[in-house]
Amino acid sequence: MKRIIFATGNEGKLKEIKVILEEPGVEVISMKEAGIEADIEENGTTFEENAVIKARAVAAKTGKIVLADDSGLEIDYLGGEPGVYSARYAGEDTPYTVKNQLLLDRLAGVEKERRTARFVCVIAAVLPDGEVITTRGTIEGYIGFAPAGENGFGYDPIFYVPEYECSTAQLSMEQKNALSHRGKALRAMKEKLQEYLEA
């Protein structure tokens, strides 16, 4: 059994990641399940920098393949905010019902055409020999006029996709994974890792 450690404490992300990366002989485990504790300061200014910082910090404590992701929501009308600060936006411990309402308030009166936004995800892998690989995925959409849906996590209730004219919190996990930034970045990573996983 090949074990990949995913450097995240976010259960929502871990669930999505397992569905895409796991296959017979390959198991994805969280840092916690691997017994690794790391207090990582995400002080990069790009998604790429932060993903590599997280993966390197955990890789320093194990000889296994370590993956980490960094992701966020970019809203064009707000100049790309909250961007790399998505998790910390309005305070790390502030509930997403509040964060989402805050963003909706900042877009009050802005018409649909100017509410364009995207989720971005960068996955970084650190291999046992120290080599670093990154992949990036995005999903284009717009900020809706009210939150909707119970699935997913974070900003999903306010992020709408034109393919379905509903929020990503209204999609099943399979539908979201097929379209999402994380799904795209992970599938690209899975392909790049194939030779290491088969070895």
Residue numbers annotated as active site: 70
- CB atoms closer than 10 angstroms to residue 191: 10
Q: Kind of pairing, strands 2-6 and 159-161?
A: unpaired
The rounded Cα 84 to chain-centroid distance in angstroms is 11
The minimum distance between CB 182 and ligand IMP, in angstroms, equals: 6
Interface with ligand IMP in residues 124-153 (CB under 6 A): 152-153
The minimum distance between CB 109 and ligand IMP, in angstroms, equals: 24
The minimum distance between CB 154 and ligand IMP, in angstroms, equals: 3
The rounded Cα 170 to chain-centroid distance in angstroms is 18
Q: Select from 58, 73, 103, 133 the one that contacts ligand IMP (CB under 6 A).
A: 73
Nearer to ligand IMP, 7 or 193 (CB): 7
The minimum distance between CB 195 and ligand IMP, in angstroms, equals: 27
Q: Select from 21, 34, 71, 103 the one that contacts ligand IMP (CB under 6 A).
A: 71
- Considering only 17-25, 125-133, 154-162, 185-193, which stretch makes contact with ligand IMP by CB under 6 A? 154-162
Using alpha carbons only, give the angle 111, 117, 123 rounded to the nearest 5 degrees: 175
Nearer to ligand IMP, 34 or 120 (CB): 120
């790309």: which residue's tokens?
80
Alpha-helical regions (H) of the chain: 11-21, 47-59, 96-106, 173-179, 181-198
Q: Select from 19, 29, 78, 87 the one that contacts ligand IMP (CB under 6 A).
A: 87
């892998």: which residue's tokens?
125
Nearer to ligand IMP, 10 or 116 (CB): 10
How far apart (Å, rounded) are the C-alpha atoms in residues 195 and 197?
6
The minimum distance between CB 99 and ligand IMP, in angstroms, equals: 7
- Considering only 32-40, 66-74, 102-110, 189-197, which stretch makes contact with ligand IMP by CB under 6 A? 66-74
Nearest CA-CA partner of 36 in 126, 132, 121, 123: 126
How far apart (Å, rounded) are the C-alpha atoms in residues 87 and 50?
12
Binding site for ligand IMP (CB under 6 A): 10, 69-73, 86-87, 119, 152-156, 180, 182
